[in-house]
Structure 1
Amino acid sequence: MAARTKARKRALEILFEAEARGLNVGQLLADRVAKPTTQHPLPDYTVTVVEGVLAHWGEINEVLETYSQGWQLDRMPAVDRAALRVATWEIVWNDEVPDPVAISEAIALVQGMSTDESPKFVNGLLARVADVKATIA
């Protein structure tokens, strides 16, 4: 697994864990940086992604609600929400990651961790986000 792929997965895990446990994402990230739960510290890109998502949390949620065509965020599987937040941040606010890479990475994450319908839903929603990103940032 490529380094950035692993970093994205770790970012998704932090976002998912914080939501599932009702924790503050920023505090959970700080805790994981200070005291890693594995023998390896968090990758720098994981920290960058989570901090980026936090910095644009409201905007990301608004974008996802606006373009999800009838799906409210709270109705989406939690894994999908986390993957969509990571990918939306990469598409809209991280010029280092090509849009197709962000989309395919998000699809790969939900394929192994969410519902059978999730990859198609995530692909369609993120493709729309990529199409309209110039109006978002």
Structure 2
Amino acid sequence: MTESPKPQSLKEVMEHLNTPEVKGKTLSARDKQARTVARLVLVQALYQMELTGQGVETIVREFSDFRFDGDLEGEPLGEGDIDFFSDGLRTVVKEQSTIDRNIAERLAAGWRLDRIDTTLRAILRSGAWELGFRKDIGKEVVINEYVEIAKAFFGETEAKFVNGALDGIARDVR
């Protein structure tokens, strides 16, 4: 059995995701960075909502007011796309049953969504939201972004799982 490589740091993930060959071509570099920040913050917000039971508007306010000004491993996070983040969080909550059903269809037989790690579940819900409800964003961009976010939190195994699940969801909803 080989040992999984150590997950990348969040800073390395952000740098990787903001290289031109990885990102779509329709946004400026600044807008791409803002979207990446919004995706990362969206995953964090979904995680916090699940753990605390706080409502969506409370989380939108808290994250808009305080989290976008935060840092990432000692480096400023950068300006985030607050509208993108807010739309994502509200839609994931409103459409959670549809989003969860799309994810569940991609799980191995006998697995339930509630058995998946909370952070991984937040990553999958975020990616499934974009694939299903933001068809203006290329599926390759969405999948790549969330695979890289998974690498920041986990190892290669989980990143491959996210890749496979989101790729399957993309085929189902697009």
TM over 0.5: yes
Distance 1:38 1:56 in 2: 24
Query: SS of the residue aligned with 2:38?
Result: helix
Distance 1:49 1:108 in 2: 18
Q: Name segments (4+ residues, structure 1) moved above 3 Å.
A: 30-33, 37-42
Distance 1:68 1:37 in 2: 32
Q: TM-score, normalised by structure 2?
A: 0.68
Whether 2:120 is the aligned partner of 1:80: answer: yes
Pairing partner for 1:15 from 46, 51, 60? 46
Whether 2:157 is the aligned partner of 1:120: answer: no
Pairing partner for 2:63 from 32, 35, 54? 32
Kindly report which structure 2 residues correspond to 1:1-137, keeping only aligned pairs within 5 A, or say none.
1=14, 2-33=33-64, 35-37=65-67, 39=69, 43-70=82-109, 71-134=111-174
Question: How many positions carry a matched residue from both structures?
Answer: 133
Q: Which runs of 5+ in 1 are unaligned?
A: none
1:38 CA drift (Å): 5.6
1:126 CA drift (Å): 0.7
Instruction: Decide which structure has greater helix share.
Output: 1
What per-residue deviation string (whole Å, max 9, x for no partner) do you get for residues 82-115 of structure 1? 1111111111111221111111111011101134
Q: Rg: which structure is higher? A: 2
AA of the residue aligned to 2:99: I
Deviates more, 1:97-106 or 1:69-78: 69-78
Which fold has the larger relative contact order, with Cα–Cα distance below 8 Å and residues 6 or more apart in sequence? 2
Q: Which runs of 5+ in 2 are unaligned?
A: 1-13, 15-32, 71-78
Indicate if the aligned counterparts of 2:41 and 2:67 stay in contact, CA closer than 8 A.
Answer: no
Q: TM-score, normalised by structure 1?
A: 0.85
1:54 CA drift (Å): 1.6
Distance 2:67 2:35 in 1: 19
The CA RMSD measured in Å over matched residues stands at 2.0
Query: SS of the residue aligned with 1:67?
Result: coil
Aligned identity (percent) is 25
